[in-house]
Structure 1
Amino acid sequence: MTDTPEKSPGDMSPEERSDLFVDRILLLGVVWALRNDEGFVTLDSGEDTGCIPFWPDRPSADAMAVEDWDDCEPVGIKLTAFVDQWLPGMKADGHMIAVYPIPDNPDTLIAAPGDLLDEIAPEDEEGDK
């Protein structure tokens, strides 16, 4: 056991939050998004493509349900559905992913669905190890 406290997400870089996101969703088997009556929320990625934010747990998603998203509710997506349906569909549609955005911090890692899929479910290759 170490005396160093674990960093809070607000003290992490976008890359550190992305690593934490992957670790948590693999452990918990659920990815979280925000949805209202109009559908899932999106962020402006500065590109012509949609950017859908995802979080590793309900409290993190719920913390973002403020201001423009105050009518949204966190929705859990099973990891298998995220890997088998969401990521391939987002890739086909040209959407990007905002990985673990946090309140009052504009720095968020924007990832391509294929890149995130490679981190979550890397293909096993014969002879590797």
Structure 2
Amino acid sequence: MEKSETQCPVEVTVNLVGGKWKLVILNQLATHGFKRFNELRRIFPDITQRTLTRQLRELEDDGLVNRKIYPEVPPKVEYSLTKTGESLIPLLLLLRDWGISYMEQERRGISQKETM
């Protein structure tokens, strides 16, 4: 992804991790260190193979995820975070904490408008 000098930093971040699956994939890799492709498919049964492949390739192309291929039959491929990907862990933790708080408010029936 080409980044211009005038591009908003938030836009850059959203372009890198935005979408339905990238953040949850990154979170799994941050939590567990590495995952094989089929493990990710089992964790996220609603994701198609094509979408998972595309999301992982984009994350790899953007330098957030490593893809390691083991020379065996059948081929074994593992995905893990790069150092740049690991730098997202504090953001992932903040998002997790915010999500927990939001879910607790929803469970208690507190309107989001009331808390603003």
Higher helix share: 2
**Whose Rg is larger?**
2
Higher strand share: 1
Shorter-chain TM band? under 0.3
Structure number with greater CO (CA < 8 Å, separation at least 6) is: 1
